[in-house]
């Protein structure tokens, strides 16, 4: 049986909540780290690279509880969200909509690529692609093309993850070759459809909303189920949403989000185990 773990976007707190949930599920006897396929988008790409690295999930969770160091605080403010929504919501052509968001990202004033790359590198336990199958999503900033990086892409892991985490208007697009890339969440906050064909799919989705022509998670899940996959979707519960707060890019909220994910695991373990087998 092929089992897929899909990890969605959600900022610094999304990374923390997902790792807390994974650690809590492991304590409940549900080990998602053994997935045959891991799909990571934005925050999920960081978690995917960490989980596939071979470092025990308990250690990854414990690291989220420590005081953040070297993390640059940022804010996904209303102005950025409005510009992103305005650029992406006009018209029905999804690729053109993503290109408009990419153009906004290319024009934005952000920290340097080098400084951001150092932050991403510090989050990854390894610098090489793991042996397991890991897919990392991104979007070509100029063309709007949806791109999926893997070990065969010839792209350094840190650059693939950096591209997937390049929130438009907040962090700089990532240069790979002669192209520049932005957050995989520009296409979908989760990109669960990349798990097509897996018998069992567990989706951890800190964020489930979208706008304009973005594929919605419910539609992606319905398509997976229609194709025969068993699917469980877990999103933050009320306590986790309170711990995460309004700014998902605030490192100060990280430990609380991680603990909330760990606590939530007990309530969802049965549902997840029923799918995972």
For 222-265, the pLDDT digits (tens) are: 999 999 999 999 999 999 999 999 999 999 999 999 999 999 99
% of residues, the chain, pLDDT over 90: 84
Catalytic residue among 42, 45, 188, 229: 42
- List the one residue out of 267, 230, 265 whose CA is nearest residue 1: 230
- Lowest average pLDDT, out of 56-60, 82-86, 95-99, 192-196, goes to 82-86
Tokens found for residue 263: 């606590």
pLDDT of residue 215: 85
Cβ neighbours around 94 below 10 Å, total: 18
Partners of 175 in beta bridges: 180
Phi, psi of 37 (to 5 degrees): -140, 135
**CA-wise closest residue to 184 among 105, 74, 93:** 105
The verdict on whether 42 is a catalytic residue reads yes
Weakest mean pLDDT among 2-11, 85-94, 151-160, 203-212: 85-94
Count Cβ atoms below 10 Å from residue 64 Cβ, excluding itself.
24
| Rounded average pLDDT over 1-6 | 92
Alpha carbon separation from 189 to 8, 63, 153 (Å, rounded): 6, 25, 22
> Nearest to residue 6, comparing CAs of 204, 186, 148?
204
Q: Which of 183, 188, 235, 250 is catalytic?
A: 183
More confident residue, 97 or 21: 21
Give phi and psi for 64, each to the nearest 5: -70, -20
pTM: 0.95
């Amino acid at each position: 049986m092929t089992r897929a773990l899909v990890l969605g976007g959600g900022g610094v707190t999304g990374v923390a909540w997902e790792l807390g949930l994974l650690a809590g599920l492991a304590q409940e006897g549900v080990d998602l780290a053994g997935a045959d396929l891991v799909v990571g988008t934005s925050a999920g790409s960081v978690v995917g690279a960490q989980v596939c690295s071979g470092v025990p999930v308990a250690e990854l969770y414990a690291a989220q509880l420590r005081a953040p160091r070297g993390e640059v605080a940022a804010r996904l403010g209303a102005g950025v969200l409005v510009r992103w929504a305005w650029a992406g919501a006009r018209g029905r052509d999804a690729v053109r909509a993503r290109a408009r968001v990419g153009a906004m990202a290319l024009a934005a004033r952000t920290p340097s690529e080098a400084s951001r790359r150092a932050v991403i590198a510090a989050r990854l336990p390894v610098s090489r692609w793991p042996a397991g199958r890991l897919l990392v999503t991104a979007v070509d900033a100029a063309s709007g093309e949806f791109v999926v990086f893997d070990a065969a892409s010839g792209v350094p892991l840190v650059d693939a993850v950096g591209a997937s985490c390049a929130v438009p208007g907040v962090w700089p697009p990532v240069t790979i070759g002669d192209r520049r890339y932005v957050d995989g969440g520009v296409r979908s906050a989760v990109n669960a459809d990349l798990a097509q064909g897996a018998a069992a799919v567990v989706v951890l989705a800190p964020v489930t909303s979208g706008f304009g022509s973005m594929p919605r998670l419910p539609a992606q899940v319905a398509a997976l189920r229609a194709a025969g996959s068993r699917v469980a979707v877990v999103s933050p519960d009320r306590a986790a949403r309170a711990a995460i707060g309004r700014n998902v890019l605030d490192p100060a909220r990280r430990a609380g989000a991680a603990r909330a994910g760990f606590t939530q695991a007990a309530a969802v373990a049965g549902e997840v185990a029923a799918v995972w087998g």
